[in-house]
Structure 1
Amino acid sequence: MNEIARVAGLRVAVVNWRDPWHPAAGGAERYAFEVARGLAGRGARVRYLTCRAPGQRRRERAEGVEFVRLGGRFTVYPLVLLWTLLRRRSFDAVIDCQNGIPFFVPWVLPRRVPVLCVIHHVHDAQFGLYFPPWLAWLGRVLEGPVSRWTYRRHAFVAVSPSTLRAVRERLSWTGPVYVVPNGSVPPAPAGEAGPGPVGDPEVVCVTRLVPHKRLDLLLDLAARLAERRPGLRLHIVGDGPEAPALADGIARRGLGDVVIAHGYVSEEVKTALVARADLHLSTSQGEGWGLSVIEAAALGVPTVAFDVDGLRDAVRDGITGWLARDDDADAADGAADTVDRALKELDDPDRRAEIAAACRAWAGEFDWARTTARMAELLAASVRLGTSSTGDDRAHVVHRYGDEHPRVVEGPARDELLAAPDAVRAVRPATPAERLLGRPGH
C-alpha cells in the first residue's frame, strides 16, 4: 500500500444527503458509499451520516461502515450538524458531500480537523426546477457565498474537469480544488458483451426520472428517431418523481410502441438491457461526470449525449460516443441527427468492434479502488499536515528517488512529497488528462 495513503486507524466521517439504499439514491450516493467502504477496507473507522427514508434503520453496519441516519430531506442538515457538534472531537477528517448545498461541518468541528467538500456538479441553474423562487434563491446563496466562506480554510474535491471549471466560474471559488473521479464496474471481456447484431436498433437511457434529465426532450428525440428508423425501440431504465409525467408523455405522443419505460430494475436486468443496446442516450442538461455513460462503456456500448458539463468529460467524442449541440431551438433534431450518424457508423461491423473496444478501454481507466486510493492519499496527508488546503492546487507528476514509477499527486499529498526536495528526482505539472486519470503518460 502507498505509504502516503495510509488511513488505518483514522476516524473519518462521510456526510451525504442519502445512502445507496435510499429510494432516491443516484450516482452521488454510489460515490460516497464506494469511498466509505473503500476507506473502511483500508482500516479507517468510517461513519456515514445521512438522512433516513421510511423503513430504514436509524443505525446499522454494512461492509465495515457504520451508518447513522438522522432526519429527512431538509431536517437532516441541522440534525447532522448537532450530532457532529456533540462528537466534534471524535473525527480526524470529514468528507462533506455537496448535493446542491453541503452540510457546513466546519461550523461545528475543531479547526485542526481537515474537511474535503466533494462536489459532483454545480446546482445553481437546477434549484429553480425543483423549488419556488425564494427557496431557489436561498439554495444559490448557500451553494455560493456561504459555502465560499465556510470552506475557506479547507478544499473542494471535484469529480471531473467540468465540475472544477464550474466551481471556479459559477461559484467564484478561489480556494483549492482537487480532482477525484468516479470509479466504474470492471469492463466486460471482449466478445461477451457489447452492442447487439445489426437490425432494428435498440437504444437505452439509464437515468433518474427528475426534471434536469429533460425527459420531454428524450421523448421528442424518440419520436424523431421513430420517423427516421421504423422499428427502433427506446428502453428507459430508472425511477423517480417524474415517472407519472413520463408515462403521460409516452401516451400523449403515441409512443407506446417505441418507448418502453422499465422503471426500477435489478442490476442484472439493467446490465442486460444496456448490453444488448446499440446506443446509450442521455438528454441531461448537465452532470458532474456521467456514471451511467462509463457503465455503458464498460459493456462496450457507446453513448450519444449533449455537449454539456460532465458528459463532455465522460464521452470521448467520436471515440467512445458522440456529442450533440445543446441548442434549445432544435435540440431534439440535432440529437436525432447525431444518433442517426452514430447508428450508420455502427452498421459497419469493423467500426462497431473498434468503438466497443475503445469504450471498454476507456471504462477500464476508472475503478473504485483507484478512486478510494486517491481520496485516501488526500485524507492521510491532510491529517498529517493539519489542513486539506494548499498554496498551489495544481496536480503534479512527481518522481522520487527510489520509486520505480512517477505518480500524479496534488494538494497536501504533493506538498508532503515536495517538503523533502532532496528525495525528489523530477517534478512537472500534470496534464489535464493525467490529472483526471491519476497517472502519468496521458
Structure 2
Amino acid sequence: MEEYVETVKERKQEERLKNVNLDDWLPITSSRNAKWYYSAFHNVTAMVGAGVLGLPFAMSQLGWGFGTVVIVGSFGITLYTLWQMVEMHEMVPGKRFDRYHELGQHAFGEKLGLWIIVPQQLIVEVGTDIVYMVTGGQSLKKVYDLICNGRCKDIRLTFWIMIFAAAHIPLSQFPNFNSISAVSAAAAVMSLAYSMIAFFTSAAKGAHATAAVDYGLRAPTTAGKVFGVLNALGAVAFAYAGHNVVLEIQATIPSTPEQPSKKPMWRGVVVAYGLVALCYFTVAFTGYYAFGNSVNPNVLISLEKPRWLVAAANLMVAVHVVGSYQVYAMPVFDMIETVLVKKHRFTPGFRLRFVARSAYVLATMFVAMTFPFFDGLLGFFGGFGFAPTTYFIPCIIWLMLKKPKKYGLTWLINIFCIAIGVLLMLVSPVGGLRQIIHDARNFKFYS
C-alpha cells in the first residue's frame, strides 16, 4: 500500500514538473517581465483597430442622438468591466488567473467554465483575426489604387488579403506577448496616427462641404432602419474588444504580494482607454459629420483627398492590424498548443509551433478571402461574441465571486450591464447577418 501511495505521489510530481515546463514554453506564461507601458500599448493595439473605422458607419445607422448614447455608454460600461477583470486576476491569494477561461472555471466550475468561456473567446479572437485579414487587404488595395490613380492594372482584393497574410507566417513564430512588444508598440502608434488623420481630414471635408449633408438614418425603409440599428449595435460592441485578451496581457506582468500586477496593469489600461476615447469619439463624430449617411463602412475608404495623406493613413491601418492580429492570435496559439501537447502528446518545439500557427494564419486568410464583408462581419461578430465576453460575463463572475449586497449600488450597476449585454447579444447578430446576406447578393467569390 505504501509503495502504491509513493508511486502516485511520484506520478503527480512528474505531472506537476511537466506542467511547469509547459508553462515555461506556452506563449501566455513563458515571460512575466512586462512593464506597465507594455499593458498600455497591448491594450491600445487590441482596442483601436478595424472597429474605430466602422464607427461613423454605425452612427449613420443610429443617428446623432442614439449613436452618441451608444458609443459613449459602451465606453463607460466596458471600462467598468475591464476594471473588474483586472481586479479578479489575483483575487485568490497565491494564484493567478492567466487566461480568461481559468477565471471562468473558478466561477462556474472546471467543465462548465470551459464550455461557457472558450467558445465565446474563440469566436471573438478568431473572428477579429478574420476581420483584420479583410481590413489589411482592403487597406493595401486602397493604397495601391490611390498611388496608381487608375494608371495601373487592377488587382483583386483576394490577392491583397494573401499578401497581407504572408506577413503573418513569420510574425506568428514569435513565442509570447513580450516578444511582440515592438510590433504592438508600432501598431499602437499607427492606430493613433491614422485615427487623427481620419479625424482631421473628415473635419476639413465637413467644414468645406459644398452640398448639404444628409444626417437621416441610412436605410430608406423601416425594415432597413431597424436592421441597420441592430447591425450598428454589433459594430459598436466589436469596437470595445480588449477584454478578451486582458487577463493574458496581465499574465505577462510580474507580481508579488507587495506589488500585485493589478496596479501596473490598471495604470496601463487607464492610459490605453484615454487614447481609445481620443480616437473613438473624434473619428465617430467627425466622420459622420463629414459624410452623413453616405459614409462607407470603413471611413478611410470614403476619403479621397489629399491623396497622399489618405494613402499614408491606409498604410498605417495595414501596419496596425498586423500587430492587432498577433495580439488576438496569441491566446489562440496558447489554446492550440496546450491541446496539442497535453491531449495529443506532441512534443513542444519549433516544428509544432511553426505548423500549428501557420495553419491558423492560412485558415483565417481563407475565410477572409471567401467572406470579405467588412460591415456585416463587424455587426455579426460584435454581437455574437464580443457582447458576452465584454459587457456581461465579467459582471456575472463578479456577482458570483464578490457577492455584493443585493439591491446595493454595485449590484444594480452589474445587473444593468448584464441586461445591456444580453440585449446586444440577442439582437445585433441579426443585423450583421442581414448585412452579410445583403452584401453577398452581388458578390463574386474570390473577386
Q: TM-score, normalised by structure 1?
A: 0.25
Between 1 and 2, higher relative CO (CA 8 Å, sep ≥ 6) is seen in 2
Quick check: which one's strand share is greater? Answer: 1
